[in-house]
Structure 1
Amino acid sequence: MHTMKLLYVGESWVIHSVHMKGFDAFTTTTYEEGGKSLKDAFESGGIEVDYMPAHIAASSFPDTVEKLAVYDVVVFSDIGSNTFLLHQDTFSKGKITPNRLKIVQEYVEKGGSFAMMGGYFSFQGIDGKAKYAQSPIEEILPVHMMETDDRLEAPEGVIPEIMMDAHPILEGVSKEWPHFLGYNILREKEGSQVIAKCGDHVFMAAGTYGKGRTFAFASDIAPHWGSPKFVNWSCYNTLFVNIAKWLAHNK
């Protein structure tokens, strides 16, 4: 029996802080990861997950379709396009290197599967710095992106409205959803399956590109947008396992 293999990229960061104590100052640096809940969710469904933090992806994300094709599903979460576009050989040495966003596009076109989860460095992101609009990633996803900062902050909390309650992705998932604290503003593409919305905006959408499948989740899989109530929700694991299985043509 084939074990689904998934490449999960992003959800890591470094914080460099300056501590001021009167005349004196010192700095500290910490490294953090925010993707454990999603990784655990995928693994709860028997999915084999290779996790690639953002700083590793910069040099090690696959640069050929053949290398990417060992995975049934590829997931980007809170990692900007520059990490994939500006390999150090290009940025520092001026060398030609493969456009790894085009590699993802070709991988999906040939039958692979891709999902993007929301966040400050997903879709367009904060100050537009994630910069996926008009890229091969927007081409393959079932949504249109804004070309400016696309965040909708909702400190009052927002609850998605389910539009396709019979979709396989929602099998075993409660109709009573927890709140979110924000999301990336997305618009549906013609022919996409809009599974949930927040107001006039797409919250979850599924689609196809070439022989492959793609999925967009507009909010974060962890705080702050993904509220603790969402991350600890009894249906969290079921939802994301369903998403992975649908992408891999297993649902």
Structure 2
Amino acid sequence: MAKAPRILIAGESWTVHSIHQKGFDSFTTTEYAEGVAWLRAALEGGGWQVDYQPSHVAARDFPMTAKELKAYDCVLLSDIGTNTLTLHPDTFFRFKSVPNRLEAIRDYVSNGGGLVMVGGYLTFQGIDAKGRYHGSPVEEALPVAISPHDDRVEAPQGAAPRVVARKHPIVAGIGTKWPALLGYNKLTAKPDAEVVATAGDDPLIVAGTYGKGRAVAFASDCGPHWAPPEFVNWKGYAPLWRQIANWAASRA
């Protein structure tokens, strides 16, 4: 029996601190949440072995070197900023030198690995430019150029995806009528990359190669809020993510 392909997903988690003010008095509550469920189910349903690291776990446990990342057929980053990957606890709290994990990701792709970056408030450049992937080693491996500024395009009216490379394996058999998205990161495809789908007037899915490996940029989210219920429950959702991962991992 063939060995199941293995993917590492990092990010897609958040903690919300709320202040409840009731007249003179107040109290606080804290809620932890993850947005990976739809993506994880889609990939596992396609035969992928999924290793998931929420952002607070990835800060400590995300692999340090390209050699360690080689255990995976694909690495997927979603809503996780560069600070989480560069400020390892050993550096931030114990003042020790450690490898740069952004360089490890770039070198992993160059050596034949697969990379997928999914849009969000802390991916690509993100809200208030806090994602900080512009000018980073990861941007070198991606098929897109990233703005140095806040790159969000909020589309509360809905932005309808449009498939422009209908023969690309990423969109094979999915059809051309996709549910609308509520926003995305504004990206620029590199000259040697292929725009597979657009949202509004901008790239939504861009595929390209770097060294011996492949990388895919998905400019919107894999879950709410930018990917609303209509999108995550769409019959094309699971095939799309499986084919994105398969193509990045050179399995398509």
How does the TM-score come out when normalised to structure 2? 0.98
Equivalent residue of 1:58, what SS?
helix
Which one-letter code corresponds to 1:123 in the other structure?
F
Q: State how far apart, in whole Å, the 2-side matches of 1:248 and 1:166 are.
A: 18
Q: Which residue of 2 aligns with 1:98?
A: 99
Q: Which residue of 1 aligns with 2:224?
A: 223
Ranges in structure 2 where 5+ consecutive residues have no aligned partner: none
Shift of 1:248: 1.4
Deviations 1:197-249 (A, max 9, x none): 22432110000001000000000111111011100000100000011111111
**Is the Cα–Cα contact under 8 Å of residues 10 and 53 in structure 2 kept in the other structure?**
yes
Deviations 1:183-208 (A, max 9, x none): 00000101101101224321100000
Q: State how far apart, in whole Å, the 2-side matches of 1:241 and 1:198 are.
A: 20
Give runs of ≥4 in structure 1 deviating > 2 Å.
none
Which one-letter code corresponds to 1:84 in the other structure?
L
Q: Which residue of 2 aligns with 1:16?
A: 17
Q: State how far apart, in whole Å, the 2-side matches of 1:250 and 1:58 are.
A: 29
Q: Spell out the pairing of 1:134-149 with structure 2 (5 A cutoff).
A: 134-149=135-150
Q: Which residue of 2 aligns with 1:49?
A: 50
**Is the Cα–Cα contact under 8 Å of residues 159 and 200 in structure 2 kept in the other structure?**
no
Equivalent residue of 1:119, what SS?
coil
- Answering whether residue 73 of structure 2 is matched by residue 69 of structure 1, we say no
- Answering whether residue 133 of structure 2 is matched by residue 132 of structure 1, we say yes
Equivalent residue of 2:128, what SS?
helix
Which one-letter code corresponds to 1:57 in the other structure?
A
> Which stretch shows the higher mean deviation, 181-190 or 93-102?
93-102
Deviations 1:152-205 (A, max 9, x none): 000000111211011001112021110000000000101101101224321100
Q: Which residue of 2 aligns with 1:247?
A: 248
Ranges in structure 1 where 5+ consecutive residues have no aligned partner: none
Q: Which residue of 2 aligns with 1:176?
A: 177
Q: State how far apart, in whole Å, the 2-side matches of 1:217 and 1:22 are.
A: 45
Which one-letter code corresponds to 2:228 in the other structure?
S
Which one-letter code corresponds to 1:52 in the other structure?
Q
Q: State how far apart, in whole Å, the 1-side matches of 2:126 and 2:65 are.
A: 27
Q: Which residue of 2 aligns with 1:36?
A: 37
Q: State how far apart, in whole Å, the 2-side matches of 1:173 and 1:33 are.
A: 27
Q: State how far apart, in whole Å, the 2-side matches of 1:200 and 1:187 are.
A: 11
Q: Which residue of 2 aligns with 1:119?
A: 120
Q: State how far apart, in whole Å, the 1-side matches of 2:149 and 2:94 are.
A: 30
Shift of 1:30: 1.0
Shift of 1:76: 0.3
**Is the Cα–Cα contact under 8 Å of residues 8 and 74 in structure 2 kept in the other structure?**
yes
How does the TM-score come out when normalised to structure 1? 0.98
What is the alpha-carbon root mean square deviation over aligned residues?
0.8
**Is the Cα–Cα contact under 8 Å of residues 126 and 151 in structure 2 kept in the other structure?**
yes
> How high is the sequence identity, in percent, across the aligned residues?
51
Q: Which residue of 1 aligns with 2:5?
A: 4
Shift of 1:93: 2.4
Shift of 1:109: 0.6
Q: Which residue of 2 aligns with 1:207?
A: 208
Q: Which residue of 1 aligns with 2:59?
A: 58
> Which stretch shows the higher mean deviation, 90-99 or 12-21?
90-99
> Which stretch shows the higher mean deviation, 198-207 or 226-235?
198-207
Deviations 1:126-159 (A, max 9, x none): 0000000000111100001110000000000011
Q: State how far apart, in whole Å, the 1-side matches of 2:160 and 2:223 are.
A: 16
Q: State how far apart, in whole Å, the 1-side matches of 2:156 and 2:137 are.
A: 32
Equivalent residue of 2:64, what SS?
coil
